[in-house]
Chain A
Amino acid sequence: MELPTQKLVHTFGALADLGQEITDSSDVSEMVRTSLHLLLGALGIRGGAILEHMADGQVLKLVAARGIDEGFPEPLHIDDAARVALLNAGLSALSPERLTTDKPDLCALLEECKNAAGTFGIQLFVPMVVRGELVGAVLLGGKATGESFTGEECDIIFSMVRHIGVGIHTHRLLEQLEQRAEENRRLYEDLRTIYRQTVRAFAAAIDIKDKYTQGHSERVGKYSEIIAREMGWAEEEVEGIAIAGYLHDIGKLVVERDIINAPYRIDAKQSSELNRHPAAGFEILSPIHHPYTDIPLMAKYHHERLDGRGYPDGLTDKQIPLGAKIVSLADSFDAMTTDRPYKTRRSLEDVIVDFRFNTGKQFDCEVVIAFCRALLKEINGESKERRILKMLGKNYVEAEKIIPLLSELISELDCIQISSAASSV
């Protein structure tokens, strides 16, 4: 092969490899190291370095070096005048050995550079300028042949240095984008935390109004969360249903305290006043932009029943959102298992009987099954968490009585579900 042709093929290969490296590499330091190898190997240059212009604008930092004496890695300081001079010089070959008076602003920098390189002779200093921005510089030693760089070789060097500059510039932009995305993610996470804390504060405010049911809203939130998770909801939706549980009774804030706290069964008029709370809750929650869907609807429909005898709209089964059905069961369960002003709490056996009786009338079958499963897992130890049992308190659950009752109810309701699914096909 003729020498010039072989040289051309070798250089072309280096350029092609450089393009690929810059496009493919996700690790900027590896990209820079490989690029320096390619540049030096393309022309048989005995050593060199790539310096990056750091974001604060005051230094050029060594990011890759070959053959340069150890001790170089101190950042080179550049003042504004030198920076402007480098930008004006653009892609050109500056020689530290021939400090000329036409670029006086660069004399100090090139001198510092030469001193930093020690015995390594720097023949060329090439600024890396991309889209009017100083990205860094490349320092090159002499060729292994001992000859000087030709004009043609300088053109090859400029072309490769431009490629490397674009690579560093692009990586920098990507890093900034990733940093901003990360900041946004953190900000969003902070906002969600603030939102959740605000919701809990609201729940506490709702419960304070009702002195007999302290902690009710928080428990309904937790029960709803447990049921939704057992039903296989996505984590985002599980968070949403917990919020709905916390806020389901927010409408009580507009109901008179005396009615909420009446130590006796309330009359019809008081009852209709109290029954305003789901619709009032919807009014309160609707104008707020929640990070989860349908929170106002779950509050509005948590007293609806499958048989249409609920309120405020008397909806039936399919018309009621599943989330509202979950909150409804969680709400009823807590009402039955906590002491009220006019009655003490019911036994868990009783509650299970109530579930059996009211499934399909008041409660949704799938929701009851999920809740019973979650409770059973806690009682028989299959689940390590004891969230429901903790809320129910000590000495309330008699495992040997409850386990068979729950198992029986689950299989009974499973059968009903299977047969209703078959009949609807």
Chain B
Amino acid sequence: MAEPASLFVRSRCVGTAAVIYASDYLNKLSGERIERECKRQLECGCQTLVIDFRGTELVNSIGVSILLGVIDVAEKSGAQLIFSDVNTETIQLFEMLGLTRHVALAKDEDEALTLLNEFAAPPQSFGH
């Protein structure tokens, strides 16, 4: 039975943006909840998704696959996607695997939200 994603994944809405906290869900099958939460936010009219990695020490292959799923969902609904507070090692991994070609990076959640308004259509990297 599908469980309500919001019960398990912490998220908050700021205007038309939603911040979703990756925490330590990402690296297991349960990380699919993050993808479901992103879908739910997009269906509720959210136009920008910020995935915050402050509680995420390491991203493994399952985590990468789930984030690729989030990228897919965001692109299909024309929403902007920002990853915030990603550590250096993980950024290198995302660059190596091509994720950074599809998302913008922000130093932290505040920066992501402050710079939201400055966003132009094509995503660009900033903050790192």
Contacts and interface: CB of A to CB of B under 8 A. Distances in A.
B68 A44 contact: yes
B98 A44 contact: yes
B123 interface: no
Contacts of A320: none
Interface string B64-78: 111011011000000
A66 B97 contact: no
Contacts of B61: 10, 13-14, 17, 37-42
Given A44-B64, A144-B71, A37 B29 contact: yes
Question: Interface size bucket, A side?
Answer: 20 to 34
Interface stretch (A1-9, A208-216, A232-240): A1-9
Interface stretch (B14-22, B38-46, B88-96, B113-121): B88-96
A16 to B, nearest CB: 10
A41 B26 CA distance: 12
B69 A17 contact: no
A11 B60 CA distance: 9
Nearest to A120: B72
B2 to A, nearest CB: 14
Most interface-central of A33, A34, A67, A144 (chain B CB within 10 A): A144
A263 B20 CA distance: 94
B99 interface: yes
The dominant DSSP class at the B interface is: helix
Contacts of A6: 89, 92-93, 96
A144 B81 CA distance: 15
Contact of B65 (A41, A145, A146): A41
Interface in A27-52: 30, 33-34, 36-47
Contacts of A144: 68, 71, 97-99, 101-102
Contacts of A17: 60-62
Given A42-B61, A144-B71, A3 B66 contact: no
B102 to A, nearest CB: 7
B97 A14 contact: no
Contacts of A147: 98
A17 B69 CA distance: 20
B101 A37 contact: no
Nearest to B61: A41
Contacts of A66: 65, 68-69
B29 A30 contact: yes
Nearest to A67: B72
A36 B63 CA distance: 12
A200 interface: no
B71 A37 contact: no
Interface in A44-92: 44-47, 66-67
B65 A38 contact: yes
B68 A46 contact: yes
A41 B63 contact: yes
Most interface-central of B61, B69, B97, B98 (chain A CB within 10 A): B61
Contacts of A10: 60-61, 93, 96-97
A143 interface: yes
Contacts of A46: 68, 71-72
A246 to B, nearest CB: 49
A47 B99 contact: no
A312 B66 CA distance: 80
A45 B69 CA distance: 10
A45 B99 CA distance: 10
Contacts of B72: 46-47, 67
B27 to A, nearest CB: 9
B68 A13 contact: no
A10 B101 CA distance: 19
Nearest to B73: A67
A301 to B, nearest CB: 59
A47 B66 CA distance: 10
A347 B84 CA distance: 91
Contacts of B62: 17, 34, 37-38, 41
A37 B65 contact: yes
Given A34-B29, A67-B68, A41 B92 contact: no
Contacts of B99: 44, 144
A30 to B, nearest CB: 6
Contacts of A34: 29, 62
Nearest to A15: B61
16 contacts: A6-B89, A6-B93, A6-B96, A10-B93, A17-B62, A34-B62, A38-B62, A40-B64, A41-B60, A44-B97, A44-B98, A47-B68, A47-B72, A67-B72, A143-B97, A145-B98
Interface of B: 29, 60-66, 68-69, 71-72, 89, 92-93, 96-99, 101-102
Top 6 nearest A-B pairs (CB, nearest first) are A44-B97, A41-B61, A145-B98, A144-B98, A41-B64, A41-B65
Given A37-B29, A41-B61, 18 more contacts: A6-B89, A10-B93, A17-B60, A36-B65, A37-B61, A39-B61, A40-B68, A41-B64, A44-B97, A46-B72, A47-B68, A66-B65, A66-B68, A66-B69, A143-B98, A144-B97, A144-B101, A145-B101
